[in-house]
Amino acid sequence: MDEQARQQEANFRYGLIASLVSRKLDPGEQMALMREIVSHEYETSSGQRRRISLRTLERYLKAYREGGWEALLPSVRADKLTTREIPEDVLAKAIALKQEQPGRSVRQIIAILELAAFVAPGTLKESTLSKQLRRRGVTRKALLNTGWSHFRRFEATHRNSMWQGDVQHTLYLPHPDKPGKKVMAYLVIFIDDYSRFVVHGQFYFEERVARLEDCLKKAILKNGVPEMIYVDNGAIYSSHHFERICGRLGAELKHTRPGRPMGRGKQEKFFRFVDQSFVPRFKQRPVDRYQKDDHPIRMLPPHELIEVFLLEESRKVDKTGCISLLGTIFEVQTELAGSKIQARFDPHDLSVIQVWKDGQRYEDAKPMKPRDPKTRPKQDEPKAVMQPPKTGLNYVELLVEEQKRQTREAQGAALSRAMKEVNRS
């Protein structure tokens, strides 16, 4: 399972438990809601229909409460073999045999191990050893590349219980950079459902995911984290990155059902009356109603919020230990050459590029600095290539010895039979 599939599965799992973790529930309410959740069939990110057991739902819930959204990620290789399937000494000898001669096939390695009495014949499966070698990067390609590095009204019960998000194509304005041209101004808002208070609204000249995230981040910095974010099915609200942000925030992401936009009347009313952002029957400004509510606000420190909103993209590190992001070349640790890594970064600030692989963080990537081979510093000199290990096991010699042993056994058996014949005569 690759990294993108893992994150999509984590988003799916969080979607199942979001209504359980985004607000406080008493034990009876929680169990009733869990039974309601497992009574339905769900479509996974791969398009398959799937039912979830109560036990599985409990496991997801426990994992999230103990480790957050990251704890919902499947293991790096769900089909990964454990080392217990092959004894450590046998696996080490198999790795050494492969390193000694990268061209050796798995079948030949097993034959050598059997002839040398490291394993009993037929006990070591070719598929098992092959997967273990691939898992550790002990492949012919890797070893030979030695230079690589009907609708009812509803209202939330308290502030920040639900934020509704929407975008309005407001009006055309003169283009700031192109005289005589006009450009659409998009109003992105998040509105608190309980108070109708706009927790943040801002005009942008683009309707893109990055602008949506910028608006949400500012809303959270000012007013805390919502329990639920309610949006339509527009493309900017349906990205895996936005799902991942909501999961890491511990906020339930809910979409209106296609063809049923009636649950989004609050935003529509706001957009119809931009200069009157409060329902008259309440007779108070939205900000006053919002501030008078005593429901606690959950805040996040700015540095944690920055981590939540980092964009994540997968990249294949080339043989020179470099990756490309937004048109810029970055260098990573040389041992990652040829590997697939995940880069986490702020697309508006490329001064810090985090490098992750299989859930482990490596040194941050750095902008590539071209080097003059004539003035290469000593530390850049290529390291001496390590000699492959010497196992002392030769396939041909082992075959010869085995043939001799079989010949001796056959001759001994023949001599024994002859002696018996002589004695009987």
Q: What is residue 260's predicted lDDT score, i.e. its pLDDT?
A: 54
Question: What burial class does residue 314 get, using C-beta atoms within 10 Å of its C-beta: 0-12 exposed, 13-18 middle, 19+ buried?
Answer: middle
| Cα 246 to Cα 343: distance, rounded to the nearest angstrom | 19
Q: What is residue 277's predicted lDDT score, i.e. its pLDDT?
A: 44
Q: 57-86 burial string, b = 16+ CB within 10 Å, else e? A: beebbebbeeeebeebbeeeeeeeeeeeeb
| Cα 38 to Cα 43: distance, rounded to the nearest angstrom | 13
Q: What is residue 160's predicted lDDT score, i.e. its pLDDT?
A: 93
- pTM exceeding the 0.95 threshold for the entire prediction: no
Q: What is residue 341's predicted lDDT score, i.e. its pLDDT?
A: 93
308 touches 249 (CB < 8 A): yes
Q: Which two tokens stand for residue 252?
A: 């339930």
The per-residue pLDDT string of the chain (425 residues; one tens digit each, 9 = 90 and over) reads 677 778 888 888 988 898 888 778 887 888 888 998 998 888 776 667 788 899 999 999 999 988 888 888 887 654 444 444 688 888 888 898 888 888 888 888 998 888 888 888 888 888 888 888 887 878 887 787 655 444 455 678 899 999 999 888 877 788 888 888 888 888 899 999 888 899 999 989 888 888 889 999 999 999 999 999 998 877 788 888 888 899 999 999 988 766 555 556 676 777 666 534 433 444 667 788 788 888 888 888 888 888 889 999 999 999 989 999 988 999 999 899 999 999 999 988 889 999 999 889 999 999 988 766 665 555 555 556 667 777 877 877 888 888 888 888 888 888 888 788 777 76
What DSSP assignment string belongs to 355-423? EEETTEEEEEEEE-----GGG--GGGSPPPPPPPP-----HHHHHHHHHHHHHHHHHHHHHHHHHHHHH
Which of the four CATH numbers 3.30.420.10, 3.40.190.10, 2.60.40.420, 3.40.50.2300 does domain 163-306 have?
3.30.420.10
Q: What is residue 153's predicted lDDT score, i.e. its pLDDT?
A: 55
Q: Which of 127, 124, 134, 139 is nearest to 89 (CA)?
A: 124
Q: What is residue 80's predicted lDDT score, i.e. its pLDDT?
A: 44
Question: What burial class does residue 292 get, using C-beta atoms within 10 Å of its C-beta: 0-12 exposed, 13-18 middle, 19+ buried?
Answer: exposed
Q: What is residue 83's predicted lDDT score, i.e. its pLDDT?
A: 43
Q: What is residue 228's predicted lDDT score, i.e. its pLDDT?
A: 92
263 touches 256 (CB < 8 A): yes
Q: State the CATH class of domain 311-372.
A: mainly beta
Q: What is residue 138's predicted lDDT score, i.e. its pLDDT?
A: 85
